Structure 1
Amino acid sequence: MRLVASDMDGTIIDREGRISDRTVRAFHACREAGVEVVFVTGRPPRWLVPLQEQLDFDGTVICSNGAVMYRLADHKVQEAFLMPQESVFQAVGIIQKLYPDAAFAAETIKGFHVEPGFVDKATTDQIGVTPGKLSDTLVAEAEAGAHEAEQAGSAEPDPDAGVAKLLAKVPGISPDDFLAVVADAVGHLVSVTHSSPGQALLEMALPEVNKAATLERFATRLGIGAKDVVAFGDMPNDIQMLGWAGHGYAMASGHPGAIAAANWTAPAFASDGVAQVLEARLAALNETAPA
């Protein structure tokens, strides 16, 4: 075990944003033992506060299901794989024809864009976002970025232009059914997954972008192969990562698809499953270490 890669929500973080003391101790023990740690999440960079406040973590986080590699130490984007606006608008149009009541949102490097109906007014007020059509707000953001580059005298295209994650949700359908239909319809434009067990909320990214692909890039730069990676996850957006890692652990409390994809199962989230596995693996490392 040279690298531990963990999902966040439903794997180490509860619905109130808390990480158990036992899990905190287990990750600290990994780092003290010289094991690299990276978190791999569907969350955007702005939602990483629990890692800093509870784990005192300032390393790399793979965000937005692999679309963004972010360094907490200086709050900088290290690398991003962004969808062009044309693909986003095409995907939105296709999904709207299938589900006329679908609502959309988009994460970019610069902000969060929501269409009317995606979340309630109290939420938009809380996060400080004014709802608008993506075809308007995304274009306005891109034009502003191009203007800033021109003012700075740069001839290079804006590296932050594009969409890290497109979100779509509809009422009255199961997440898995929604995923199956939409993935078939827009798979030529975007990759599609979901990580929300309670609502039909899909997450889309650039084709071939997923947690596993970016984790592999990160591990390769450290000189670490898949066989030395221990990964944890619980939802469909973790499937590729759990399959790629030499020791992929799905949470026993997780989605059936994640459990089927993994070669190991960790105890349930409520039982501090990640901490249990890490404690056992660290103990095994200590037993085999030279005296």
Structure 2
Amino acid sequence: MRLIASDIDGTILGHDGKISPRTIRAFRAAEDAGVEIVFVTGRPPRWLDPLREQIGHTGTVICSNGAVVYDLVSERVTSSHLLPLASILRAREIIKDLVPDAAFAVETLEGFQLEPGFLEPGTVDLLAKVTPAPLRETVTAKSEVVKFLAVTRDSTADAFLARVRPSVDRLLAVTHSAAATAMLEMGPHGINKAVTLAEYAASRGIEARDVVAFGDMPNDIEMLRWAGAGYAMASGHERARAATALHAPDFSDDGVAQVLEARLAGLAKA
């Protein structure tokens, strides 16, 4: 084990925004043992405070499902893969025809743009400060979009994905990671967590067989399959669990910490 690659939400971070003390200790013990750590998430760079404040991570984070690589030390984007505006607008038209109540948003390197209806009424979070407006009015070819999102209130994430993917897949890669919201995340074809993680590992001279990865949702599947030891959370999505023979205990049982503790004990005996 030379590199640990971990998803964040639902894997080490709960809905309360907390990482358990046991999990924090496990990551710090791995770092002390000389194991490199990289977090691989669907989150944008500006939502990485839990890593800084709770774990004290100061390394690299692969964000936006692989579309962005961010350095927490310099607080800058080191690489990115952008979406063509034409593909975004065409995908929006297709999805709107298929699911009329769908609402849309884009994640850019500078921030977030969303349309009316994307947020549920009464939502109070960081996005509530963004003024909704049609994407045709707010997004241009210079907007540096790294993720396109669509949400519906009248479906599940899996059903929404099944309805939309056949028609949109030629334009954008489609996945989802929200456990309780029917929200789709679309990015550049050929880019996902596994692709960017593989590039990062290669730059460190680390092979897939020396990578231990953790994830819980469909957007983690490629990463779990690529890593030498890819652990799906027992509390995760059924498709993530089916993607790998290795399962970490439930998130609520500090599953990632349990696996890391056992692997670090094995390293100590070697």
Gap change, CA 1:196 and 1:130, over 3 Å in 2? same
1:160-175 equivalences in 2 (<5 Å): 161-175=143-157
Runs of 4+ in 1 over 6 A off after TM superposition: none
Q: What are the Cα deviations for residues 232-283 of structure 1, in whole angstroms up to 9, with x where unaligned?
A: 0000000000000010000000001000102300000000000000000000
Gap change, CA 1:40 and 1:126, over 3 Å in 2? closer
1:235-250 equivalences in 2 (<5 Å): 235-250=217-232
Gap change, CA 1:60 and 1:33, over 3 Å in 2? same
**Is it true that 1:222 corresponds to 2:192 in the alignment?**
no
CA distance in 1, matches of 2:124, 2:147: 18
Structure 2 residue aligned with 1:188, among 138, 162, 170? 170
Q: What are the Cα deviations for residues 44-69 of structure 1, in whole angstroms up to 9, with x where unaligned?
A: 11110000000011110000110100
SS in 2 for 1:38: strand
Q: Name the Cα RMSD after superposition.
A: 1.3
Which amino acid in structure 2 is aligned with residue 206 of structure 1?
P
Deviation at 1:24, TM superposition (A): 0.2
Equivalent residue number for residue 24 of structure 1:
24
- Retained in 2: the 8 A contact 1:61–1:69? yes
1:89-168 equivalences in 2 (<5 Å): 89-120=89-120, 123=123, 126-127=126-127, 128-139=129-140, 142=142, 161-168=143-150
- Retained in 2: the 8 A contact 1:124–1:131? no
- Retained in 2: the 8 A contact 1:13–1:19? yes
Q: What are the Cα deviations for residues 127-175 of structure 1, in whole angstroms up to 9, with x where unaligned?
A: 4211111111012x83xxxxxxxxxxxxxxxxxx431111101112121
Q: What are the Cα deviations for residues 62-82 of structure 1, in whole angstroms up to 9, with x where unaligned?
A: 001101000111110010011
**Is it true that 1:202 corresponds to 2:203 in the alignment?**
no
Deviation at 1:121, TM superposition (A): 6.2
Equivalent residue number for residue 261 of structure 1:
243
TM-score using structure 1 length:
0.90
5+ residue gaps, structure 2, are none
Equivalent residue number for residue 47 of structure 2:
47
Deviation at 1:126, TM superposition (A): 4.9
Q: What are the Cα deviations for residues 16-42 of structure 1, in whole angstroms up to 9, with x where unaligned?
A: 110000000000011111100000001
Equivalent residue number for residue 155 of structure 1:
none
Please tell me whether Structure 1 or Structure 2 has the larger radius of gyration of its CA atoms.
1
Which amino acid in structure 2 is aligned with residue 204 of structure 1?
M
CA distance in 2, matches of 1:100, 1:121: 18
Gap change, CA 1:20 and 1:55, over 3 Å in 2? same
Which amino acid in structure 1 is aligned with residue 30 of structure 2?
C
- Retained in 2: the 8 A contact 1:243–1:263? no
CA distance in 2, matches of 1:134, 1:272: 40
Q: How many residues align?
A: 269
- Retained in 2: the 8 A contact 1:247–1:263? no
Which amino acid in structure 2 is aligned with residue 197 of structure 1?
A
Q: What are the Cα deviations for residues 212-242 of structure 1, in whole angstroms up to 9, with x where unaligned?
A: 0100010010010100000000000000000
Gap change, CA 1:101 and 1:52, over 3 Å in 2? same
SS in 1 for 2:149: strand
Deviation at 1:197, TM superposition (A): 1.5
Structure 1 residue aligned with 2:259, among 269, 272, 277? 277
SS in 2 for 1:12: coil
Percentage of pairs with the same residue: 56
5+ residue gaps, structure 1, are 143-160
Equivalent residue number for residue 152 of structure 1:
none
TM-score using structure 2 length:
0.97
Which amino acid in structure 2 is aligned with residue 221 of structure 1?
S
CA distance in 2, matches of 1:275, 1:243: 20
Q: What are the Cα deviations for residues 92-116 of structure 1, in whole angstroms up to 9, with x where unaligned?
A: 1110110111000100001100000
